[in-house]
Structure 1
Amino acid sequence: MAFRRRTKSYPLFSQEFVIHNHADIGFCLVLCVLVGLMFEVTAKTAFLFILPQYNVSMPTADSETMHYHYGPKDLVTILFYIFITIILHAVVQEYILDKISKRLHLSKVKHSKFNESGQLVVFHLSSVIWCFYVVVTEGYLTNPRSLWEDYPHVYLPFQVKFFYLCQLAYWLHALPELYFQKVRKEEIPRQLQYICLYLAHIAGAYLLNLSRLGLILLLLQYCTESLFHLARLFYFADENNEKLFGAWAAVFGVTRLFILTLTVLAIGFGLARTENQAFEPEKGNFNTLLCRLCVLLLVCAAQAWLMWRFIHSQLRHWRESWNEQSAKRRVPAAPRLPARPIKRESGYHENGVLKAENGTSPRTKKLKSP
């Protein structure tokens, strides 16, 4: 992280130098953009990186409000917030996760999973709070019909567009982080799967002007994922603590049902009954039968794949626990050795003295002199 002491130096622009200083490099680039705001010549260019573009003033009953739509300049803004996310990622890793993992003394495999879950818990919880605030203030929860009414939703409020830009920046930053964090080759395919899945759904909702529906689905998904990664963190702290996994398993199935129901309701029934059903990309209208079927197929296939993986992992977990219990039952008890018979001398004891059978004490053997 920036301004911290280095115990080891690496050759400039080498692979190890970039890996260990990628957050500092990102911090310098962000600082250059912020410095550009101070000068009139570069201020307009710097604002392209920081603020969302394509603003349009919309008249209302009282005054005018500023709304936004998407365009190619959004890529510049996303790039800037990718560097912001890389810096925040390094801050959480060094000042929170590394200090906790040192106390837990985890193995390499558990250490990698602990870092992954720690980063995702911070992101998911902050996204849940932010997304819940947006859907409440915009009235999407109190009025479910707004998810498909007045489609296409081309003009977005500032907080909705900024939320989508930050979401895309985070999941795009996760791709180079696989290299910076030196993720094991066995873990890369699994992480690439859910990164690409999130990017496809978020970018699809943003580009197809389904931002309202996408916010609700992200809120449901992030609540479930935050519970899962919290359960993993508690499990790494204490392996006997598995109660949160049971709660996550119950919430996971309910979330899949809610996502499928809401998607079919909004796209399959809501958009199908609207009057404006034409393919007009220049106006942001994609409300055709083919587009609706493609979106429904993508969402249903993703939920079915997640449910299949969940059932497969649960069955494997139950099989492993059953094998452990059966192995413990098959272990035979240690055989007891027969007690050795105590050799007693003839006679009996009386007041601690051995007596012969006729009542006299036995003779003591004379020791031979050396």
Structure 2
Amino acid sequence: MDVSAKVTAKTAFLFILPQYNVSVPTADSETVHYHYGPKDLVTILFYIFITIILHAVVQEYILDKISKRLHLSKVKHSKFNESGQLVVFHLSSVIWCFYVVVTEGYLTNPRSLWEDYPHVYLPFQVKFFYLCQLAYWLHALPELYFQKVRKEEVPRQLQYICLYLVHIAGAYLLNLSRLGLILLLLQYSTEFLFHMARLFYFADENNEKLFNAWAAVFGVTRLFILTLAVLAIGFGLARMENQAFDPEKGNFNTLLCRLCVLLLVCAAQAWLMWRFIHSQLRHWREYWNEQSAKRRVPAAPRLPARLIKRESGYHENGVVKAENGTSPRTKKLKSPLRPKC
């Protein structure tokens, strides 16, 4: 029984805990750090199932109850579920990422983003954060089927899922985990604001203040991400002495690798900015079309200046009077229908 229990415990640890731990000596004592390897796929697979379960709990006990009260259409219901899930994920990721960045000292010492590269050995919380991030975005692929996402929405969701997977896996495998944490913190903060704005909009279509705040933050975030990537990769890593391509030691600090990473980051930010500008222009065009349509609506016809004398009454001081001396009630005119947007 003891032998079987030990085997079961080792197998369970393979799924639950990060693997490849190494004792790194420090000035006072030793600390345990981790590096990546093939066994990480087993751990990621386990947390994919955990994420699917949590996704279903949030959907059933929170989002479904709220959407029933709002009486949303099918299109809005699908977008509401998407934004509701991402609000929970982005909020938890921002809090977790901010805690890791502060405790590891990456914010107080920006030079640590490129100094002592390659950052092969990771603290437990850094590695576990990356494993959970990869598990979440991989779980989003089968969720497209489980949530019965409309065919028109699948390409859009696949685009940003693959974009996150490429960037997170690239930062993890190229030992750029410190820079990746800062960039994810900026990106997730902006995305959290956007999906919160969508939720408030679905609750009340007149509430668009958060969209204006998100639009202002979006452009600033793109600028910060590009500046930080160029500073860390284009200048910081370029000045490091060790610039030999050595995958066994985790060193990818070569000119070609740096150019590829910068090109990927810049292309992604340019694509996001182009989509943002295109979306804003489309919304402005719809707004001005709505305003011009309102101007083209014909005005309500005016009543004739002179009223025709009727047999049932008579004129007195220019006003038609009934036989009993009271003024007849004028019939209200219906206003023209508002054009559909």
TM over 0.5: yes
After superposition, the Cα gap between the structure-2 partners of 1:330 and 1:62, relative to the gap in structure 1 and judged at 3 Å, is: same
Instruction: Report how many residues are paired.
Output: 335
SS of match in other structure, 1:145: helix
SS of match in other structure, 1:38: helix
After superposition, the Cα gap between the structure-2 partners of 1:342 and 1:245, relative to the gap in structure 1 and judged at 3 Å, is: same
Task: Indicate the structure (1 or 2) with the bigger Cα radius of gyration.
Answer: 1
Shift of residue 61 of structure 1?
A: 1.6
Contact 2:309 2:315 in 1 (8 A): no
Shift of residue 338 of structure 1?
A: 2.0
Shift of residue 43 of structure 1?
A: 1.1
Deviation string 1:115-141 (CA, Å, 9 cap, x unpaired) is 000000000000000000000000000
Deviation string 1:41-77 (CA, Å, 9 cap, x unpaired) is 3111111000000000011122111000000000000
Contact 1:104 1:237 in 2 (8 A): yes
Shift of residue 167 of structure 1?
A: 0.1
Which residue pairs with 1:63 in the alignment?
Answer: 29
Shift of residue 332 of structure 1?
A: 1.4
In 2, Cα distance between equivalents of 1:56 and 1:334: 81
SS of match in other structure, 1:56: strand
After superposition, the Cα gap between the structure-2 partners of 1:365 and 1:217, relative to the gap in structure 1 and judged at 3 Å, is: closer
Deviation string 1:207-241 (CA, Å, 9 cap, x unpaired) is 00000000000000000000000000000000000
Alignment gaps of 5+ in structure 1: 1-34
After superposition, the Cα gap between the structure-2 partners of 1:310 and 1:362, relative to the gap in structure 1 and judged at 3 Å, is: closer
Shift of residue 363 of structure 1?
A: 30
After superposition, the Cα gap between the structure-2 partners of 1:340 and 1:299, relative to the gap in structure 1 and judged at 3 Å, is: same
Which residue pairs with 1:196 in the alignment?
Answer: 162
Shift of residue 359 of structure 1?
A: 20
Contact 1:121 1:229 in 2 (8 A): yes
SS of match in other structure, 2:4: coil
Quote the RMSD (CA, aligned, Å).
6.9
Deviation string 1:143-180 (CA, Å, 9 cap, x unpaired) is 00000000000000000000000000000000000011
Shift of residue 341 of structure 1?
A: 3.4
Contact 1:36 1:43 in 2 (8 A): no
In 2, Cα distance between equivalents of 1:104 and 1:226: 21
Structure 1's consecutive aligned runs of 4 or more residues displaced over 4 angstroms after TM superposition are 35-38, 344-369
Deviation string 1:246-293 (CA, Å, 9 cap, x unpaired) is 000000000000000000000000000000001000000000000000
After superposition, the Cα gap between the structure-2 partners of 1:282 and 1:339, relative to the gap in structure 1 and judged at 3 Å, is: same
Shift of residue 364 of structure 1?
A: 30
TM-score, scaled relative to structure 2:
0.90
Contact 2:33 2:123 in 1 (8 A): yes
Deviation string 1:299-332 (CA, Å, 9 cap, x unpaired) is 0000000000000000000000110011001111
In 1, Cα distance between equivalents of 2:80 and 2:334: 78
